[in-house]
Amino acid sequence: MIKEEVFRPKKEYKHLGYNQLSLRHAVSQAVGLNAPGGTIVLYVAGTAALLTFTFSKYPDGAFSIPLILLLALIVYSMMSYSSFEFSKYLSSSGGYYTFVANGLGKGFGLTTALSYISYQILSFTGFGILGFIGFAYAILPSLGITVPYVNILWIPVTIIFILFVSFLIYKGIKPSLKYVTYAILIEVIFFIASSVYLIGVNHTKISIKPFTAIPVGGNFIILAAMMVYAIGSFVGVGGSIPIAEETKNPKKTVPRSIIASIAILGVTIILAAYAEVISWGYGNMASFGTGSGIGAYPVLSIYKYGFSGMGLVPFAVLLIIVINSFFTATVSLGTNASRVIFSLSREGVIPEKLSRTNTRGVPVYAILFITIVSLVIVLATGISFELLYPGKIIDALLYSSVFLLVLESPISYIVHILTNTSLHMYLKKRKMKTHIFRHIIIPGISSITLVGAIIAAVYFDLSAPYIYGVYGALVWVIVIAIVVIIMYTKYNKNLDDIGNFSL
């Protein structure tokens, strides 16, 4: 039996409010960050389009999306195992970088911190903001709503959306998570129930084929390449880790929330994807992957026309839930990013001002920093793609969203690869019992799979604009490496306390 270490920080640190959140809050934070409704609409459509455009010789390749998502879930579960183990011993808003700093050392800890903040902000902007704006722009014409000043209206809407989300985060974590908890419960129940209904209505089309490689000609390398994008479908599983120090009994609650999140997201997203593809039908998947649905989202057409006798009620409920899903995701993503920035600041890695809190224990300046950076990223990316695709504003917004999502995927892999590598080192350093299978083999398989997925994406030279995200990620990783080298060589003293705080 592994003996739990009593972690004692070297000095007195600032901290966030203890014992505010329960298990349901932790699970809601993770599932809300993942945004199952937005994922089912955006990621399924995006994966289908990516597969169809890049591998056009397999017009029905998108029929394998349930398998792609299942493989992505398995890989992400293995990715999450190390954080599951770590969260039994370390509880800090530093999250993953606290794990890595205590396993591999401060240089790798800083690499993890910068990578985690990057992919949270890229998800915040690419999925939560641009995903929402692109979705709204795509569906409004189909609802008979004309968007005035279509080429520029998205800019003030984006600014208002980001400011509103930032305000909610500023109001405190417990009030926002109370809302997220109820919203996520409704969202999950709706998608599970509606998916079961669609499968029942299309029972004659039920097939095991969506869980095979037959639609892509048996080419498993294609499936691996698609996982580079599809793994992002489950990015919320570890969403409760940065709020650990605000959670009751975190060394039990956070590991339980990871398991619960895997189960909830896996069942909801894969079941919904299966219902979508069999509803569309094998032999018709080329149109599924080329945006033939309402606003380029096939699931919208399915929910508008696939519920005979119910009118437009399922479609209307879907729209409300998906819009809310983007909203809850941005709140959760912004909350996590602000916690990690707060933690880096209190440990002296970055300016102290970013760890200042208000009377409610909210890291105000960290939230302000995220707000400003997110505004810059969203506006710069959206305007750039609008210039690349003049006169095609819907395509520009969709592509800019997908670009940021593809960009953040390899960066998130770095976080998990370093966490995987740190686990065994952490246990050995503290003379704690280790298990070859649990602490070496599982993390090792996860890391090898992630490296293989990145290589596959580069090897296949994914079609534009998707490949821009892969190249952008490589540039971003180089920038992070340069920053870490500079900090490690010139400002090494700033790293003395990195990862030291834990309850």
Split at pLDDT 50, 70, 90, the class of 461 is low
State how far the alpha carbon of 300 is from the alpha carbons of 56, 140, 326, 375, 421, in Å: 24, 12, 16, 29, 42
Whole-angstrom distance, CA of residue 29 vs CA of residue 331: 9
- Per DSSP, the three-state class of 247 is strand
Q: Which of 49-53, 94-98, 255-259 has the lowest mean pLDDT?
A: 49-53
- Give residue limits of the domains in the chain: 23-92+107-338+358-407+451-488
User: Per-residue pLDDT tens for 435-457?
Assistant: 999 899 999 988 988 887 777 66
Quote the percentage of the chain above a pLDDT of 90: 58
Banded pLDDT at 281 (limits 50, 70, 90): very high
Tell me the CATH number for domain 23-92+107-338+358-407+451-488. Answer: 1.20.1740.10
The pLDDT of residue 491 is 93
| Residue 230 scores a pLDDT above 90 | no
Task: Please work out, in degrees rounded to the nearest 5, the angle formed at the alpha carbon of residue 23 by the alpha carbons of 73 and 343.
Answer: 85
Overall pTM > 0.85: yes
Which of 44-53, 84-93, 410-419, 437-446 is predicted with the least confidence, judged by mean pLDDT?
44-53
The pLDDT of 232-249, averaged and rounded, is 90
Instruction: Reduce the DSSP state of residue 238 to 3 states and report it.
Output: coil
**Predicted pLDDT of residue 7:** 47
Name which of 133-142, 160-169, 369-378, 461-470 the model is least confident about: 461-470
Task: Specify the higher pLDDT residue, 250 or 134.
Answer: 250
More confident residue, 48 or 467: 48
* Confidence at residue 195, expressed as pLDDT on a 0 to 100 scale: 96
Asked whether the predicted pLDDT for residue 228 surpasses 50, the reply is: yes
pLDDT for position 420: 94
Other beta carbons less than 10 A from residue 387's beta carbon: 9
pLDDT bucket at 222, cuts 50 / 70 / 90: confident
With a CB cutoff of 8 Å and minimum separation 6, the contacts of 249 are none
CA distance 126 to 405: 6
Task: Please determine, for residue 65, whether its predicted confidence score (pLDDT) is greater than 50.
Answer: yes
Most confident of 32-41, 114-123, 469-478: 114-123
Comparison of pLDDT for 232 and 25, the residue scoring more = 25
> Which range has highest mean pLDDT (168-182, 224-238, 488-502)?
488-502
